[in-house]
Structure 1
Amino acid sequence: MNTVDRDASQALLEQVNQALQDNTPLRIRGGNSKAFLGREVAGIPLDTRAHRGIVSY
């Protein structure tokens, strides 16, 4: 997998901007391995798993 495949910056930015425009809360999520900790968070999931590794120096 090359660096371009791991850079999801544009897709994440579009999702955040759309949520801002719609006044919709987001629930930022990586691997979701700690979902059982704390209170349940409301919002549409913003999945960041595709955005990983070193994407820029």
Structure 2
Amino acid sequence: MSYLLAEVVMGLEAYHCDFLSSVFMDLELGSDRMGQFFIPFEVSRMISMIVHGETVLCPN
């Protein structure tokens, strides 16, 4: 568990974006029946640019 937490911390330090939702969806851990969905990265980037006025970089 500590190894996984360290990976999350390093990921957040390296990329200031929501990389966990892409991992979650890649592993198909979401549940349509529970109403879980995630905003695509491009939409999140657009919202961030509107609010903060800067470009957000994150690997896909």
Bin for the TM-score computed over the shorter chain = 0.3 to 0.5
Relative to its length, the structure with more strand (as a share) is 1
Relative to its length, the structure with more helix (as a share) is 2
Q: Which has the higher contact order (CA 8 A, sep 6+)?
A: 1
